[in-house]
Amino acid sequence: ICGLMDLIPYFGPFLGAAPAFFVALSMDFNLTLLLVIVITIIQFGESYLVSPLVMKSVMHIHPIIVVFLLLAAGNLMGILGMIIALPVFAIIRAMGKTVWQFYRSNKKSVIESTNREIK
């Protein structure tokens, strides 16, 4: 449950940890406190260290941009925005690179053909 809820950034793992929290609460208060501390440390480490670094190495997006995108999308569109922010950013960036490369190659071929006509 916790892994599935991890798809929801920031709060998902806490919602997924709720069943473990209630089981630990029924057993021992110290175990419950330990569970809360461990889940919090894991969540913050994953959200602010691991995820941005993975996005940097796989998608070549700087970690600060990842955090900014998630915060902005979360404020604008809520949980759904946080889920779709990075894929939408990656698609827009890939389309922009493709258009830019097409523009540059087209411009270069126009310049070469103009140079041939002048000679």
Task: Give me the phi and psi of 16, to 5 degrees please.
Answer: -70, -25
Q: Does residue 48 carry a pLDDT above 80?
A: no
Query: Average pLDDT of 18-28?
Result: 91
For the whole model, what pTM was predicted? 0.53
What integer pLDDT is reported at residue 44 of this predicted model? 79
Mean pLDDT for 47-54 is 75
The Cα–Cα gap between 54 and 65 comes to: 13
Over residues 58-81, mean pLDDT:
84
In the chain, domain spans: 2-118
Task: Write out pLDDT tens, residues 54-64.
Answer: 777 777 788 78
Q: Which residue has the tokens 């569970």?
A: 35
Cβ contact 12:46 at 8 Å: no
Residue 82, pLDDT above cutoff 90: no
Q: Mean pLDDT, to the nearest integer, of 76-99? A: 89
* Over residues 43-72, mean pLDDT: 79
